[in-house]
């Protein structure tokens, strides 16, 4: 397939690459709270979309809807151009939609290497016997290549720091070969500057591969402007801005987010 047929990716970004996910008119209510209102959003292959907004704006709810955790009350999702009803997180993952949740889904009393292979353990086929040494080796390789230092891949995840756990959650999604859409809900929040920088570099490398679409939630707008191609602002459950990162700035984003409170 030529680049033309696939949708060409220009030097400036992924403006014409195919859309991996498109959300249309998504609404979601929790009791009295209208968490999402008629949300429309898309991300193309090779693109990183930054999702910003205040606490409670609906960012995590939106990500959880794109990953099969919440069913939308209204609206639909198109995955690779086809209308798709996501039945569960496991179903979404089987399609290639992988998520690093804000409230991490890690099993604390399992060692690091088994968490890295959660739900895709390597076995000696056809026997259901785990290939432990191979998983340990690959886990070490994966974490070394990102530069995440942990005592040992045999350490139970519950004994790690919040930042280390988050790094492992990111590594798990990134190294799942089938991932087409990676959703990251504040992956940098619990990290020190060094670990956070390593994850940002990893995301940039992933972007250069151009075969994956990424949606990143972060409260640090400098990181958003630095790493994302586009930014969407969510306010009270509604997308109020969709702009190329090159056409905005940290100060403009701060102004937009805080304007409604009369801060500026």
Ligand X SMILES: Nc1ncnc2c1ncn2[C@@H]1O[C@H](COP(=O)(O)OP(=O)(O)OP(=O)(O)O)[C@@H](O)[C@H]1O
Total length of the chain: 264
Cα dihedral 65/165/142/187 (nearest 10) = 40
Nearer to ligand X among residue 30 and residue 222 (C-beta): 30
Residues 68-127 that bind ligand X (CB under 6 A): 102
For the bound state, the minimum distance from the C-beta of residue 17 to ligand X, rounded and expressed in Å, comes to 27
Using rule CB under 6 A, residue 162 touches ligand X? no
Using rule CB under 6 A, residue 59 touches ligand X? yes
Stretch that binds Mg ion, among 34-42, 55-63, 141-149, 169-177 (CB under 5 A): 55-63
Nearer to Mg ion among residue 61 and residue 248 (C-beta): 61
Using rule CB under 6 A, residue 33 touches ligand X? yes
* DSSP states of 97-157: EEEE-SS----TTSBHHHHHTTTS--B-TTS--B-HHHHHHHHHHHHHHHT---S-TTSBG
Nearer to ligand X among residue 14 and residue 36 (C-beta): 36
Using rule CB under 6 A, residue 55 touches ligand X? yes
Q: Which of 9, 26, 43, 57 binds ligand X (CB under 6 A)?
A: 57
Nearer to ligand X among residue 196 and residue 237 (C-beta): 237
Instruction: Tell me how far apart the alpha carbons of residues 95 and 245 are, in angstroms, rounded to a whole number.
Output: 29
Contacts of 52 (CB under 8 A, 6+ apart): 59, 217, 218, 219, 221, 224, 231, 232, 233, 234, 253, 257
- Return the residue matching tokens 């969407």: 232
For the bound state, the minimum distance from the C-beta of residue 47 to ligand X, rounded and expressed in Å, comes to 21
Stretch that binds ligand X, among 50-58, 92-100, 169-177, 192-200 (CB under 6 A): 50-58
Helix (H) or strand (E) holding 63: helix 59-66
Cα–Cα separations (whole angstroms), residue 65 to 13, 40, 72, 204: 26, 12, 6, 25
Using rule CB under 6 A, residue 58 touches ligand X? yes
3-state secondary structure of 52: strand
With CB under 5 to 8 Å by kind, the binding choice for 82 among ligand X, Mg ion, none is: none
Among 56, 57, 75, residue whose Cα is nearest residue 65: 75
Using rule CB under 5 A, residue 67 touches Mg ion? no
Q: Which of 3, 6, 56, 162 binds ligand X (CB under 6 A)?
A: 56
Q: Which of 13, 46, 53, 72 binds ligand X (CB under 6 A)?
A: 53
With CB under 5 to 8 Å by kind, the binding choice for 66 among ligand X, Mg ion, none is: none
Contacts with Mg ion by CB under 5 A lie at: 59-60, 102
Contacts with ligand X by CB under 6 A lie at: 30, 33, 35, 53, 55-61, 102
């Amino acid at each position: 397939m030529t680049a033309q047929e696939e949708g060409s990716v220009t030097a400036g970004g992924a403006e014409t690459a195919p859309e991996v996910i498109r959300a249309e008119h998504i609404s979601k209510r929790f009791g009295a709270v209208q968490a999402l209102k008629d949300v429309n959003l898309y991300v193309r292959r090779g693109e990183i979309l930054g999702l910003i907004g205040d606490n409670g704006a609906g960012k995590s709810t939106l990500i959880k809807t794109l990953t099969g955790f919440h069913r939308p009350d209204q609206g639909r999702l198109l995955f690779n151009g086809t209308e798709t009803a996501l039945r569960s997180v496991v179903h979404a993952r089987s399609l290639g939609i992988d998520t690093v949740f804000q409230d991490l889904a890690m099993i604390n009393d399992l060692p690091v290497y088994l968490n890295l292979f959660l739900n895709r353990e390597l076995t000696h086929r056809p026997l259901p016997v785990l290939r432990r040494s191979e998983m340990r080796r690959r886990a070490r390789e994966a974490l070394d290549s990102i530069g995440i230092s942990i005592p040992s891949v045999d350490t139970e995840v519950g004994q790690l720091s919040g930042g280390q756990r988050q790094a492992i959650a990111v590594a798990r999604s990134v190294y799942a070969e089938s991932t087409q859409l990676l959703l990251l809900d504040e992956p940098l929040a619990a990290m020190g500057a060094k670990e956070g920088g390593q994850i940002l570099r990893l995301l940039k490398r992933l972007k250069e591969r151009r075969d994956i679409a990424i949606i990143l939630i972060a409260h640090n707008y400098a990181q958003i402007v630095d790493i994302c191609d586009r930014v969407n602002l969510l306010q009270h459950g509604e997308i109020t801005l969709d702009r190329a990162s090159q056409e905005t700035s940290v100060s403009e984003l701060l102004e937009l987010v805080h304007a409604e409170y009369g801060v500026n």
